[in-house]
A and B are shown apart, each in its own frame.
Chain A
Amino acid sequence: MTALLEVKNLQVSVAEREILHGLTLTVNAGEVHAIMGPNGSGKSTLSHVIAGKPGYEVTGGEILFKGEDLLAMAPDVRAAKGVFLAFQYPVEIPGVATMTFLRTALNAQRKARGEAEFSTPDFLKKVREVAGSLGIPQEMLRRGVNVGFSGGEKKRNEVLQMALFQPSLCILDEMDSGLDIDALRIAADGVNALRSPDRAMVVITHYQRLLDYIVPDVVHVMSKGKVVKSGGKELALELEATGYAQYEDKAA
């Protein structure tokens, strides 16, 4: 069986400085992987490169998504194929109602896949259903995208999009940043509801705390642009106790 995501010996530079030095990672459908590591270890760079953010230069290695060369695809094509990045800091888009944004994005993805676009009534029905299950009030959908949203609302909006687009790979970039414990639990519940045998998740975080709510199958430790250790969920607890220092020495 082909893995959902295969990152092979990936080397990435930003402004001529190498950030990832040959990173390898395999994620199968149905699995939840956590990537932990200190600041500057390259976690966010990895998530940006998978999603196709401009400004990064891939100098070596490859990324296969469902067996296809992901790096050859434009970012919107990747989205339509099922790559979803939940942003650490979701941006605000003033004047664009959340509802309009969701509909435009969903229909763009469906169109790219050759599927029929949702009609307005069908779309509204679907959004209401999904938003309801996440406890998102209708009023929030009428506001500008993330404009004036609290930290918790912004993250819930990311989960809402994930639930609506049904991607096969979800990358959650530091979902816990800026959230209090209640908001974290709500967002994590939303994510857990999306766990499924044909979907994989990559959870990027500094802290073990998030992994109490989203329990991973595999934990990777990243340091200085590489995966230096992989293990089961107990690895996260071990890290919490010992810190990252030992791995930094190892990577160097």
Chain B
Amino acid sequence: MAAVQETVDRVRQIDVDQYRYGFETLIESDKAPKGLSEDIVRFISAKKNEPAWMLEWRLEAYRRWLTMTEPVWARVSYPKIDFQDLYYYSAPKPKKTIGSLDEIDPEILETYKKLGIPLREVEALEGVIRPEGERRIAVDAVFDSVSVATTFQAELKKAGVIFMPISEAIREHPELVKKYLGTVVPTTDNYYATLNSAVFSDGSFVYVPPGVRCPMELSTYFRINERNTGQFERTLIIADKGSYVSYLEGCTAPQRDENQLHAAVVELVTHDDAEIKYSTVQNWYPGNSEGKGGIYNFVTKRGDCRGNNSKISWTQVETGSAITWKYPSCILRGDNSRGEFYSIAISNGYQQVDSGTKMIHLGKNTTSRIISKGIAAGRSQNTYRGLVTAHRKATGARNFTACDSLLIGDQCGAHTVPYIEAKNSSALFEHEATTSKISEDVLFYCVQRGLSQEEAVGLVVNGFVKDVLQQLPMEFAVEAQKLISISLEGSVG
């Protein structure tokens, strides 16, 4: 049909220019020489003024990493990464210790402004739709590898919530970091997580004390800025007994020629009756029209429902990166604990996505829910890969999974790879999956009512992902909706 041909033609036309957030900030950076060795690990640790135990932890991970091999099981293909050809540390040169936002490089602030990120408290309050009462957002901005500004500290302090760069937490709250770091994603976990453990630069640390409901949404915006710099974020969030926190992570990056490796690790821990809601909007540079130059996003995200009646909920909107390899997971250890995974993964051009979740039921009466919406356009490949497992003691475990895929055009692919294992006879697992093409008839119906082709696709896709969008905090949902339209721009006839 004509419209399909048009779609295909438009897909061919997408180019780097269309990546809206592709600008670069010119700031001097302070970086380690290329390559990876024990010396580099020591260099990073020294740069951060880390205590000896932290350096030891890193070195152990590094030595372990040397014995490991890269995983190849995912449905993604890319040229072999030369790990000696990457920079492992890069920090914007600080003038001195930063006391207030006014001291931050104006160019950095300008970059955030272009992204529409409300760094200043005033800006955070502007144009933000607040659904209930006076919920606010605190931004811990990660520019390349160092957190350059943290807002709302005072108010959080009042509530007893610790929200700071993890590099600071290592110095200021070593007992907490020591107790939890690497307990959800061990240093030996997988190739990229181990690499991260050796060279992680910075990230966020959150601790919510017992019984505290965090008074605002916590938010970190990531940007990759330095050419050829691997970005190794490390995030650790702990919700103590009966506490609640909602954490938002959003990413955009400037366009570039070389592939960039991003291997973050996120660890979440919930104690009895606690809840963490973790939301991500990811829009890293996906590569140009030939699929060249995009970011490799090899992330390990895992939550541990350690306490009874605790809950972890992951929501993700993935639109960027050349390759996404990401499985935010929940270990349902505590009895009656609950894990949720809501995902929208959009791939266009030559993007490859292999994403999903793992729900590991260990405790009694644990429940989990997976809603995954994959949208493939252009020549992209979009795979859902998920594991649901009930261990022998997980009496009464329940899971519901729904994976829906939508195809735009006839040169993309959608794949669903569910792994389901039940070792307890009382476990009840449900799996539903659908794959459909965006229908010419639906598009024509919309266009006949006056919508342009592009508006029509945007509308239909937003309808398709509605169940997941509803899970995002209001501020993020608006941004995500925009992103969905932007990422499908030009890909549809």
Contact = CB atoms under 8 A, between A and B. Distances in A.
Q: Do A and B bind each other?
A: yes
A105 B449 contact: yes
B313 to A, nearest CB: 21
A80 interface: yes
Given A53-B444, A90-B445, A76 B452 contact: yes
B467 interface: yes
B467 A95 contact: yes
Contacts of A75: 444, 447-448
Contacts, number: 81
B479 interface: no
Interface in A39-83: 51-55, 74-76, 79-80
The B interface, classified by DSSP as helix, strand, loop or mixed, is helix
- Give chain B's interface residue range (CB within 8 Å of chain A): 20 to 34
Interface string A84-119: 110100111111100011001110110010000000
B464 A109 contact: no
A216 to B, nearest CB: 23
Contacts of B428: none
Given A54-B1, A91-B439, A108-B455, A96 B460 contact: yes
A95 B463 contact: yes
A35 B467 CA distance: 43
B485 interface: no
Most buried by B among A54, A55, A96, A109: A54
A76 B441 CA distance: 14
A105 B463 CA distance: 15
A55 B460 contact: no
Contact of A76 (B3, B440, B442, B450): B450
B467 to A, nearest CB: 7
Interface string B442-482: 10111111111101000110111111000000000000000
A96 B463 contact: yes
A54 B446 contact: no
Interface in B1-30: 1-3
B131 to A, nearest CB: 17
A59 to B, nearest CB: 15
B403 to A, nearest CB: 16
Given A91-B441, A91-B442, A105-B446, A76 B451 contact: yes
Nearest to B1: A55
Contacts of B455: 104, 108
Given A54-B1, A108-B455, A95 B447 contact: no
Nearest to B440: A54
Interface residues of A, number: 31
Most buried by A among B449, B455, B460: B449
Contacts of A108: 449-452, 455
Given A91-B442, A108-B452, A79 B447 contact: yes
A91 B442 CA distance: 6
A80 to B, nearest CB: 5
Contact of B449 (A55, A74, A92, A165): A165
B467 A161 contact: no
Contacts of B464: 94-95
Given A93-B463, A95-B462, A96-B463, A104 B444 contact: no
A98 B463 CA distance: 11
A91 B443 CA distance: 10
A151 interface: no
Contact of A87 (B440, B445, B453): B445
A144 interface: yes
Contacts of B442: 91-93
Contacts of B444: 53-54, 75
Interface in B48-67: none
B459 A91 contact: no
B450 A109 contact: yes
Nearest to A92: B442
Nearest to B449: A105
Interface in A147-168: 161, 165
B7 to A, nearest CB: 11
Contacts of B453: 76
B3 A54 contact: yes
Interface in B406-461: 439-442, 444-453, 455, 459-460
A95 B464 CA distance: 6
A58 B3 CA distance: 16
Nearest to B441: A91
B344 to A, nearest CB: 12
Contacts of A92: 442
Contacts of B3: 54
A161 B445 CA distance: 12
B450 A96 contact: no
Contacts of B439: 91
Contact of A96 (B448, B462, B467): B462
Given A54-B1, A54-B3, A95-B466, A79 B450 contact: yes
A53 B440 CA distance: 9
Contacts of A104: 451, 455, 459
A93 B436 CA distance: 13
A81 to B, nearest CB: 10
B449 A79 contact: yes
Contact of B459 (A80, A101, A161): A101
Contact of A161 (B449, B452, B466): B449
A242 B1 CA distance: 39
A93 B453 CA distance: 15
Contacts of A52: 447-448
A187 B460 CA distance: 27
A59 B76 CA distance: 46
B181 to A, nearest CB: 41
Contacts of A79: 447-450
A85 B441 CA distance: 13
Interface of B: 1-3, 439-442, 444-453, 455, 459-460, 462-467
9 contacts: A52-B447, A85-B448, A91-B441, A93-B446, A93-B460, A94-B464, A104-B451, A105-B451, A165-B449
Interface of A: 51-55, 74-76, 79-80, 84-85, 87, 90-96, 100-101, 104-106, 108-109, 112, 144, 161, 165
- Considering the complex of A and B, which 7 residue pairs feature the smallest CB-CB distances, nearest first? A95-B463, A96-B463, A109-B450, A54-B2, A95-B466, A105-B449, A79-B450
Given A93-B463, A108-B450, A109-B450, 10 more contacts: A53-B444, A75-B447, A76-B451, A79-B448, A90-B445, A94-B464, A96-B459, A108-B452, A112-B450, A165-B450
